[in-house]
């Protein structure tokens, strides 16, 4: 369907244009449904006799359980960020992208690992479909609030502090119907989604939220992405630097 082909087109082009197969060794693999096609594309290169020798040497750094599965399912070598603290290029999705390449991330509840990997990478490439590009400010289309990873015992305190900062709506993200109670991240933390309306200064807001006692990390990725590949419904791909 159009949406999946948009994701695939963006991801394939992003890999083709941003992996230096002769030079790169450590590749970050993000979370979500678009980065699936990044791992798929790398898997295709792995099967290509011309590239097998190089891609079989790649070490892929995951951003969570789904990401680890993507790496293994495509025959790629799984590595840890502890042993590979400098990453050549990282590919990840986003919930929304503004015209300065600032991102809202965390829809998939992996934002801490994603930010650890993206900020440890020489190049951070965002892959997304046409629904994710904000015309100007963040929180134009993404209405679920800013995902914020918090220490579980601080959730009441952080919720209050976020409201004092101007959040209109604050909610601890709940698990699916099968799970009674909050989502617990890979780092054994909770997530709060906080709606601050249109974000005209996401950098300042990130700094204020990050400074709150009990906040581990925010889903505002400021001055981090190097380039974004946005797949359109007609199969074309737009590249933003
Ligand atoms: O949670 C995240 O930040 C993920 O990257 C996710 O938002 C990507 O979304 P996608 O499924 O549209 O690629």
C-alpha 111 – ligand 1 centre gap (Å): 9
Convert the pLDDT of each residue in 161-191 to its tens digit. Answer: 999 999 999 999 998 777 789 999 999 999 9
C-alpha 107 – ligand 1 centre gap (Å): 6
Which residues have CB under 8 Å from 151's CB, separation 6+? 189, 190, 214, 216
Per-residue confidence (pLDDT) for residue 49, from 0 to 100: 98
Per-residue confidence (pLDDT) for residue 203, from 0 to 100: 97
Averaged pLDDT of the chain: 97
- What does pTM read for this prediction? 0.97
Q: Residue 149 pLDDT > 80, yes or no?
A: yes
Residue by residue, DSSP assigns 108-129 as TS-HHHHHHHHTTEEEEEEEEE
Q: How far apart are CA 29 and CA 46, in angstroms?
A: 15
Convert the pLDDT of each residue in 6-23 to its tens digit. Answer: 999 999 999 999 999 999
Per-residue confidence (pLDDT) for residue 176, from 0 to 100: 79
Answer whether 122's CB lies under 8 Å from 58's CB. no
**Complex ipTM above 0.95?**
yes
Answer whether 144's CB lies under 8 Å from 107's CB. yes
Please report, for residues 58, 98, 141, 169, 201, the alpha-carbon distance to residue 127 in angstroms, rounded to integers and kept in the order given: 20, 13, 17, 29, 23
Q: What is the mean pLDDT of residues 189-214?
A: 97
Tell me whether residue 80 is exposed, middle or buried, using C-beta atoms within 10 angstroms of its C-beta: 0 to 12, 13 to 18, 19 or more.
exposed
Q: Residue 44 pLDDT > 80, yes or no?
A: yes
Name the residue with the closest Cα to ligand 1, atom 9. 32
Name the residue with the closest Cα to ligand 1, atom 5. 93
Q: Sign of the CA dihedral 88, 93, 94, 100?
A: positive
Residue by residue, DSSP assigns 205-235 as HHHHHHTSTTEEEESEE-S--SEEEEE-TTS
Per-residue confidence (pLDDT) for residue 178, from 0 to 100: 78
> Active-site residues: which are they?
114
Per-residue confidence (pLDDT) for residue 177, from 0 to 100: 79
Nearest atom within ligand 1 for CA of residue 108: 1
Residues in the chain: 241
C-alpha 95 – ligand 1 centre gap (Å): 6
Per-residue confidence (pLDDT) for residue 141, from 0 to 100: 87
Convert the pLDDT of each residue in 66-120 to its tens digit. Answer: 999 999 999 999 999 999 999 999 999 999 999 999 999 999 999 999 999 999 9
Confidence of residue 214 (pLDDT cuts 50, 70, 90): very high
Q: What is the mean pLDDT of residues 214-232?
A: 98
Confidence of residue 153 (pLDDT cuts 50, 70, 90): very high
Convert the pLDDT of each residue in 120-144 to its tens digit. Answer: 999 999 999 999 999 899 998 889 9
The three-state secondary structure class of 37 is helix
């Amino acid at each position: 369907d159009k949406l999946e082909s948009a994701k695939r087109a963006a991801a394939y082009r992003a890999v083709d244009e941003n992996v230096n197969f002769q030079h790169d060794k450590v590749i970050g693999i993000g979370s979500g449904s678009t980065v699936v096609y990044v791992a798929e594309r790398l898997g295709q290169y792995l099967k290509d006799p011309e590239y097998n020798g190089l891609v079989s040497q790649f070490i892929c750094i995951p951003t969570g359980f789904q990401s680890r599965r993507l790496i293994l399912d495509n025959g790629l070598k799984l590595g840890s960020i502890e042993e590979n603290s400098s990453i050549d290029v990282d590919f990840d999705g986003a919930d929304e992208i503004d015209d300065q390449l600032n991102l809202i991330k965390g829809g998939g509840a992996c934002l801490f690992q994603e930010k650890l990997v993206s900020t440890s990478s020489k190049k951070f490439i965002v892959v997304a479909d046409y629904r994710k590009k904000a015309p100007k400010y963040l929180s134009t289309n993404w209405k679920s609030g800013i995902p914020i990873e918090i220490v579980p015992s601080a959730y009441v305190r952080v919720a209050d502090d976020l409201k004092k900062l101007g959040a209109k709506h604050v909610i601890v993200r709940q698990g699916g119907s099968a799970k009674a109670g909050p989502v617990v991240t890979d780092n054994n933390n909770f997530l709060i989604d906080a709606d601050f309306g249109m974000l005209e200064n996401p950098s300042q807001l990130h700094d204020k939220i990050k400074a709150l006692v009990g906040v581990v990390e925010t889903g505002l990725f400021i001055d981090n992405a190097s380039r974004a590949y946005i797949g359109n419904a007609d199969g074309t791909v737009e590249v933003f630097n």
